[in-house]
Structure 1
Amino acid sequence: MTELVLDRVSVRFRLPGATVAAVDGVSLRVRPGECVALVGESGCGKSVLANALLGFLPGNAQTSGTATLTGDGPPLDLLGTSDAVLARTVRGRRIGLVPQSPAAHLTPVRTARAQLEEVVRVHHPDDPSPRDRAHRVAARAGLSPDDLDRYPHELSGGMAQRVANALALVGDPWLLIADEPTTGLDRHLVDGLIEEFRRMVADGRAVLLITHDLAAAQRVADRIAVMYAGRVVEVGPAGAVLDAPRHHYSRGLVDALPDRAFTPIPGQPPLLTDLPPGCAFAPRCRQAAAVCASRPTLTDGEHAVACHLPC
């Protein structure tokens, strides 16, 4: 069975005189045919987790736990796999990445077509017609052949997003990681992007959507994992997490939506170099009690929460 299983994944950055606990004991499962949204405030560790899965961490990073990728051969622990193996067998082939600000990741002096055909040649070196395959992949991402003749500076935000989607799909990966894909896009472009993600899921792929845009997650995700200060504090079906959140931080995120109470969460997230020993959200939580001085663990079940005094 093809799936990605994270088991107590942690990422720490060693700095002079300090350690940044960017990701702290994250456990999560992603399967084909679903969109899992990883949500939380900026700086909570969502993008660091994505980079850890693909081996894009800097040299001062230390990882622990396992991120097991199954299907197409023996199970592979992404955290313990060499960069050469990740480049040859995982990146773009089993896991595709749509990076944050995709236009900034495109080569400015080459057309979208040239960049897409180059990736085709890398992933399909025996294909006698890279251009035809590039056109087919572009069509799946909602691009016409004429769109591919544009340079990055000629692409709108939505068009650059589609080019990034096409580049990520060339190797036919079963899992697509999309890192803050709705940032800077207007409502019309967000609508189109969500439709594209749902089509991928309907085709049997999986999407791991990393976002602070809870409204977008609400519209596209099958399951939502809420991350705070490097930890997953709640995970469950999207409707359950959004309509009946069990963690007080999740409740705060939902209440901050414009169509809900539109009330911001008081206070600021803790420094990742100085996390409290117990519940990291306790200093901002109105329901905090003495028991919160010890760290809660994620409960079992379809709708799990890491809270001593859940909603």
Structure 2
Amino acid sequence: MDTLLSVQNLSVRFRMRGGRHIAAVSEVSFDIAPGECLALVGESGCGKSVLAAALLGLLPDNARTSGAAHLDGLDLLTADEATLARTIRGRRVGLVPQSPAAHLTPVRTVRSQLREAIRELTGTPRRRLAEATVAAAARAAFPAGHLDRHPHELSGGLAQRAATALALVGDAPLLIADEPTTGLDRDLVDRTVDELRRHADDGRGLLVITHDLAAAERIADRVAVMYAGRIVELAEARAFFGEPGPRHPYAHGLLNALPERAFTPIPGMPPELGALPEGCAFAPRCERATEACAVLPDMPTGTEGTACWFSLRPLERVHA
């Protein structure tokens, strides 16, 4: 299978005052093929959005990255700002940001921002810009009657749809959608993920970062589960959401917390990223933990895998 994006051992550390470091992302590896959607799921604060920012060179100055992230022969982690700004962002990699209000220009209407993106990224003739702008808005279910509004005049859901419309304009080979369904009702969630799915079905890559497991099930080919900065499970979406189901206890708990399933929350809280244990970070919350969990298991590096000492056993038989 061809690879569009190859991420190998990506780590992100934030240097804090007093010399302290926070390990926001640790040794993350995954590939995305043309035509594939990978859903990156996990609780808030596990490092999903930091990973996306690292791929686009949008981390703050106190961040340090290591590893590699190759797209079309270019390592995104070592590319300079000029290369990222001129040839990557918007052109090779599109972004639906987690906080759209921060990415929309506050003094310009949605229409003017869409028109500029269409002109710059597609070369559409001026005589066709008006029609193309309305079409781009409709693609993200953004109402044409709101195109002449400024970002501060939009609700959170409308701002999200405006940001999605902008991200889709260039039909970038890789699209990163960071919580693209925030603020949307269920019908619009389904419509948005279906449009994003079409982006992948046309032969492009799609990385969807979400806590909405229903949306992930609807859109993903594979699922990567992140916990405390690490990917703890990589699985085919059909197997993950169906049979045999997830193999990592944390991933199992995420699904069981859904209202349509057991509706049983995972006990406890995620660890602080600045004080991670030496072994499995999920062990303090895991009823299946043993002394073996004091040693960190290997992270998944291929298309499938589980970072758990008991991943080869069905979950209900761990104590058998």
Normalising by structure 1, we get a TM-score of: 0.91
**1:1-311 to 2 correspondences below 5 Å:** 1=2, 3-17=4-18, 18-70=20-72, 75-124=73-122, 127-129=125-127, 130-143=129-142, 145-243=144-242, 244-299=245-300, 302-310=303-311, 311=315
CA contact 2:96–2:163 (8 Å) conserved in 1: yes
Question: More deviation in 130-139 or 157-166?
Answer: 130-139
- Identify the range of structure 1 (299-308 vs 262-271) with the bigger mean alpha-carbon deviation: 299-308
Amino acid at match of 2:98: Q
Per-residue deviation, 1:299: 4.9
The structural deviation recorded for 1:15 is: 0.6
What is the SS of the residue equivalent to 2:77? helix
Task: Give, in angstroms, the shift of residue 183 of structure 1.
Answer: 1.9
Which runs of no fewer than 5 residues in structure 2 stay unpaired?
A: 316-320
CA RMSD in angstroms comes to 2.1
Matched AA of 2:235: G
CA distance in 1 between counterparts of 2:123 and 2:200 reads 27
Matched to 2:151, the amino acid is P
**Aligned 8 A contact 1:98 1:164 in 2:** yes
Pick closer, same or farther for the CA change 1:302–1:57 going to 2, 3 Å.
closer
Q: For 1:25, what is the secondary structure of its paired residue?
A: strand
Q: TM-score, normalised by structure 2?
A: 0.89
Q: Deviations over 1:171-197 (max 9, x none)?
A: 220111111122222212212212211
Identity of aligned residues (%): 61
Moved more, 116-125 or 245-254: 116-125
- How much does 1:158 deviate? 4.2
After superposition, the Cα gap between the structure-2 partners of 1:134 and 1:2, relative to the gap in structure 1 and judged at 3 Å, is farther
Is 1:252–1:264's contact at 8 Å kept on the other side of the alignment? yes
Q: Distance in 2 between matches of 1:91 and 1:299?
A: 28
- CA positional deviation for 1:132: 4.5
Per-residue displacement from partner, 1:110-156 (whole Å, max 9, x unpaired)?
22111111223433568444445434433443456544333334545
Distance (whole Å) between structure 1 residues aligned to residue 106 and residue 61 of structure 2: 28
What number of residue pairs does the alignment pair up? 307
Higher alpha-carbon deviation: 234-243 or 217-226: 234-243
* Partner Cα distance (2:300, 2:122) in 1: 44
Kept in 1: contact 2:27–2:299 (CA 8 A): no
Larger deviation: 216-225 or 101-110? Answer: 101-110
- Partner deviation per Cα, 1:36-80 (whole Å, 9 max, x = no partner): 11000000000000000000001110100000102xxxx000001
CA contact (8 A) 1:13 1:22 kept: yes
The letter for the 1-side match of 2:192 is: L
User: Which shifted more, 131-140 or 173-182?
Assistant: 131-140
Q: Is the 8 A contact 1:240 1:303 kept in 2?
A: no
Q: Deviations over 1:75-117 (max 9, x none)?
A: 0000010011011111000110011132443234422111111
- Structure 1 CA distance for aligned equivalents of residues 258 and 60 of structure 2: 35
- Which stretch of the first structure deviates more once superposed, 3-12 or 157-166? 157-166
Bigger CA drift: 103-112 or 53-62? 103-112
Deviation per CA, 1:194-218, whole angstroms, max 9, x where unpaired? 2211222222222211111212212
The DSSP-based 3-state class of the residue aligned with 1:59 is: coil
**Structure 1 stretch displaced more, 129-138 or 173-182:** 129-138
User: Which stretch of the first structure deviates more once superposed, 129-138 or 8-17?
Assistant: 129-138
